[in-house]
Amino acid sequence: MLKDLLNYGAASQLYFGYCTDELANRSLSESDKKVDNVPSSVIYRYNLIKKMNIPGLTYCGASLAVGDNITVRQYFKLDQDRDISNYEFLICIESKKDEDSETKEYYTVNPVPKDGMYYVEMTGPLKSFFGNMELMISSGYAYKHLYYSPLNYISKVHNKDSVDPKLKSFVDAMYWFQYQKQQTICLKIRRKLLQSRMSSYQRTQPSV
């Protein structure tokens, strides 16, 4: 995972133009510096055009930022004869009720005006990278749900007719770093479960 972290750091430096003369992966071999493309199966699966059928409100797209958490901004265009205060935006937060079940809670957020549009910011833990973030919008008459994954953003980058090569390299490195991190976490969980089962098995064995 260290190699993927260093490559992600280097791709970030190149994309944002920060300390490009001292890249994070400079100590790696040329072969280790090579970052594979995001798998085509992932691009195909998440290459979706997000639409919302809300009168007076048009969905325009999203931006993505990944740091200690994942932040997605969903952008909307409001018709001139509409009032944004007539719409309610709610973000779904999943939380564990106990070890075997999860609950959903919805929190109201205020849309922020920017460049003739409005955006709603959704922030979630890094585990959301391979999952969906849920936004619910009410027009006063009905609720509509918008599910968005960071992989939707990555897929869109790959399917653009014209895209900055540095951005493409950045999302590729981001994907593989997050993928390897998830694999490491899953491996630790499996080991912990195995140790727990072995311990339980040993306790149930009769003394000889």
Which domain does 30 fall in, by range?
A: 1-34+162-201
Q: What is the pLDDT of residues 124-156, one digit of tens each?
A: 776 667 878 888 999 888 788 888 888 888 998
Name residue 146's beta-bridge partners: 135
Q: Which of 160, 161, 157, 178 is nearest to 169 (CA)?
A: 157
CA–CA dist 165, 144 (Å, integer): 35
CATH number, domain of 81, equals 2.60.40
Task: Answer yes or no: is 113 within a domain.
Answer: yes
Q: What is the pLDDT of residues 91-131, one digit of tens each?
A: 887 654 455 556 677 889 999 999 999 999 988 776 667 87
Q: What is the pLDDT of residues 27-50, one digit of tens each?
A: 999 999 999 999 999 998 888 766
Task: Answer yes or no: is 207 within a domain.
Answer: no
Weakest-pLDDT range from 26-30, 46-50, 57-61, 189-193: 189-193
Overall pTM surpassing 0.85 (yes/no): no
